[in-house]
Amino acid sequence: MHFRNVSNLSIVISLNLRGNDLSGVIPSELCSLSDLVFMDLADNYFTGQIPPCFGLIFQRSSIGETKYPRIEVTEIIKRQQEVFIGPSWLASNLDLSNNNLVGTIPEAMTNISTLVGLNLSYNHLTGGIPEKIGSMISLESLDLSNNYLSGTIPDSLSSLTALSSLNLSNNYLHGQIPTGSQLQTLDDPSIYTGNRGLYGFPLQDDFNKPSSPPSQTNHDGENDDKKEHEHERYWLYQSIMIGFATGFWGVVGTLVLNISWRHAYFRFVEEIANKIYVQFKVKVNRCMKRLNHDQR
């Protein structure tokens, strides 16, 4: 779908293109829809990055009770109708979920202070959650799940006092989950699951929590003990090696230098081997006789 001439649609406030198998990049021409309040591009095949200019729309703070065009495209059937707009349309929403979007979340999007719902889930977004996410003071619903977001959760998230629905699961976030009066009410652990580096409320375990560093006194004491153990271990290894070398060369050296001793040693070894062999054969013969007797 092409948006080449959107100047005539500048007063459109609702755009719904959900589930139409649309592909390609999201056209930046949509940013000229300065009166836009609602945009749903979910369940398509859009690629590329989120246009940074999206931070310039959804800024309408008040709408009088009047008629505005509303565009809805369902299964590639275009409908344009005039609808009566009242105060209920003041809730701004942006849904780009379930596409193939890449890149980072534009920092400029945090300028949308009137946005009530933001859904960017099931994409391929990378980078971190914008540090100024707390500037989106009207957010009631935020879904960034199932992406490739990394880094820590910004502390400013706790400033979203209207937030009632949050999903950051299945990313690569780490660190402690921020605390705040509103975040403390979101006690469902599934909000943060799938982020192996996160810890804190409401997660039920602290497996990912880094251990606190020891005090300087304990650290010095541990270093002293470690050095002492290493010193003792060094001399133990040295003693073992010296003893082995002495015993080995004491025997081997004697056999090498003294021919008569060497011959006596080999005769002794040969006799021992012969005795062991004879005893082995005797036991084998006895066992065979017993087996033959039992079979009869």
pLDDT above 80 for 11? no
Q: Which fold has domain 7-199?
A: 3.80.10
Query: Whole-angstrom Cα distance, residue 118 to residue 196?
Result: 24
In this prediction, residue 32 carries a pLDDT of 81
- Per 3-state DSSP, the chain is made up of helix, strand and coil in percentages (nearest 5) of 40, 20, 40
Q: Report residue 150: phi and psi, to 5°.
A: -130, 180
Is residue 28 very low, low, confident or very high in pLDDT (cuts 50, 70, 90)? confident
Domain ranges of the chain: 7-199, 216-295
Top pLDDT among 95 and 252 is at 95
In this prediction, residue 181 carries a pLDDT of 76
Top pLDDT among 18 and 4 is at 18
pLDDT above 80 for 74? no
Q: Two tokens at 203?
A: 């997660």
The answer to whether the bond into 210 is cis (omega within 30° of 0) is: no
What is the β-pairing status of strands 77-85 and 66-74?
Answer: antiparallel
**Least confident stretch, 48-52, 54-58, 157-161, 170-174:** 54-58
Among candidate residues 175, 182, 131, the one with its CA nearest the CA of residue 160 = 182
Q: pLDDT of 134-191, one tens digit each? A: 999 999 999 999 999 999 999 999 989 999 999 999 999 999 999 887 888 898 999 9
* pTM (global) more than 0.85: no
Query: Whole-angstrom Cα distance, residue 292 to residue 296?
Result: 6
Is residue 210 very low, low, confident or very high in pLDDT (cuts 50, 70, 90)? low
pLDDT above 70 for 102? yes
In this prediction, residue 114 carries a pLDDT of 85
CA 267 to chain centre: 70
Mean pLDDT of 72-90: 43
Tokens 């009770």 belong to 65
Query: Whole-angstrom Cα distance, residue 129 to residue 192?
Result: 14
Determine the 3-state secondary structure of 65 from DSSP. Answer: coil
Among candidate residues 155, 150, 246, the one with its CA nearest the CA of residue 194 = 150
Query: Whole-angstrom Cα distance, residue 111 to residue 136?
Result: 7
Top pLDDT among 114 and 175 is at 175
Q: pLDDT of 246-294, one tens digit each? A: 665 566 556 555 667 666 766 777 777 777 877 777 777 777 777 766 6
pLDDT above 90 for 236? no
pLDDT above 70 for 78? no
In this prediction, residue 31 carries a pLDDT of 82
pLDDT above 80 for 219? no
Percent of the chain past pLDDT 90, that is, above it, reads: 35
Query: Whole-angstrom Cα distance, residue 286 to residue 228?
Result: 60
